[in-house]
């Protein structure tokens, strides 16, 4: 069945630095979504990517969908304390959304 | 107004007990879900319902029984609770089953079995 792998599982970042989290699927995806879950909170939708090679930006967050539609990445520049949380990718195929294991981000001030 | 609301938010209970978690969405969505998040934050889908009809049942023990009285409600009843059932349970909804729909999550129900 479809599997979505996400790395790294944990990311400790110095405030002001950049980091990237990666998402890889064993199958070609129709689209990919990204969610953010703050500590003690619930996952909240960030963005959806549909087209091969698509790149979307939300302020300091850059989301990319691979050419083969089997991988995606989230790059955050100039990390702030408000970026703390767990970032999940979720791949869509055959009307089933599969979540990655998440990347939990902590920030050192 | 809360879009997806679930109760209770916290639940501590003893092994062997039966408990229910209720969920309601006021978004007018056709599809609702139950997800389980373990201590490692892994989000696993348990059930999905579309217009009150069970669509997905992801090999969940039959001690877990979802019930959807109407498309705005999806409740989860758990019989004979076990220690391993301790987790955060998220109710969620989406417009319908179509690919590309955003999933809206409730705030979660923290279940602790002692």
Contacts of B42 (CB under 8 A, 6+ apart): A99, A101, A102
In the block, residue with structure tokens 């902590």: A106
CB contact under 8 A, A88 and B98: no
Contacts of residue B105 in chain A, CB cutoff 8 Å?
42-44
* Nearest chain A residue to B96, by CA: A95
Among residues A34, A47, A29, A41, the alpha carbon closest in space to that of A102 is found at: A34
Q: Would you give the end-to-end CA distance of chain A in angstroms?
A: 41
Contacts of residue B100 in chain A, CB cutoff 8 Å?
30-31, 48, 50, 92
For an interface test with A, give the residue of B99, B100, B110 to mutate (most A CBs within 10 A).
B99
- Write the residue in A88, A90, A95 that is nearest to B97 by C-beta: A95
| pLDDT above 80 for A94 | no
- For residue B56, give the H/E element and its range: strand B53-57
CB contact under 8 A, B98 and A41: no
Min Cα–Cα distance to chain B from A18, Å: 23
CB contact under 8 A, B100 and A30: yes
Over residues B83-102, the pLDDT tens digits come to: 999 999 999 999 988 878 89
* Nearest chain A residue to B110, by CA: A40
Over residues A14-67, the pLDDT tens digits come to: 999 999 999 999 999 999 999 999 999 999 999 999 999 999 999 999 999 999
Over residues B51-93, the pLDDT tens digits come to: 989 988 887 899 999 999 999 999 999 999 999 999 999 999 9
Contacts of A36 (CB under 8 A, 6+ apart): A43, A44, A46, A85, A86, A87, A88
Over residues A1-10, the pLDDT tens digits come to: 558 999 999 9
């Amino acid at each position: 069945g479809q599997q979505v792998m996400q790395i790294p599982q944990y990311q400790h970042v110095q405030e002001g630095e950049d980091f990237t989290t990666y998402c890889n699927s064993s199958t070609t995806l129709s689209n990919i979504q990204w969610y953010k879950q703050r500590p003690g909170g619930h996952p909240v939708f960030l963005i959806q990517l549909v087209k091969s090679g698509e790149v979307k930006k939300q302020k300091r967050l850059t989301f990319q969908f691979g050419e083969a539609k089997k991988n995606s990445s989230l790059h955050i520049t100039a990390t702030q304390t408000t970026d703390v949380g767990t970032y999940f990718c979720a791949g869509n195929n055959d009307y089933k959304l599969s979540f990655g294991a998440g990347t939990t981000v902590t920030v050192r001030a | 107004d809360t879009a997806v609301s679930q109760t209770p938010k916290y639940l501590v209970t003893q092994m062997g007990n039966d408990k229910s978690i209720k969920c309601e969405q006021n978004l007018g969505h056709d599809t609702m879900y139950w997800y389980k998040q373990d201590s490692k934050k892994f989000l696993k889908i348990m059930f999905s319902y579309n217009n009150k009809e069970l669509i997905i049942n992801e090999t969940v023990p039959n001690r877990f029984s979802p019930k959807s009285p109407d498309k705005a409600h999806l409740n989860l009843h758990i019989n004979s609770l076990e220690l391993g059932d301790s987790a955060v349970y998220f109710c969620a909804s989406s417009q319908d089953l179509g690919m590309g729909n955003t999933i809206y999550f409730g705030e979660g129900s923290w279940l602790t079995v002692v």
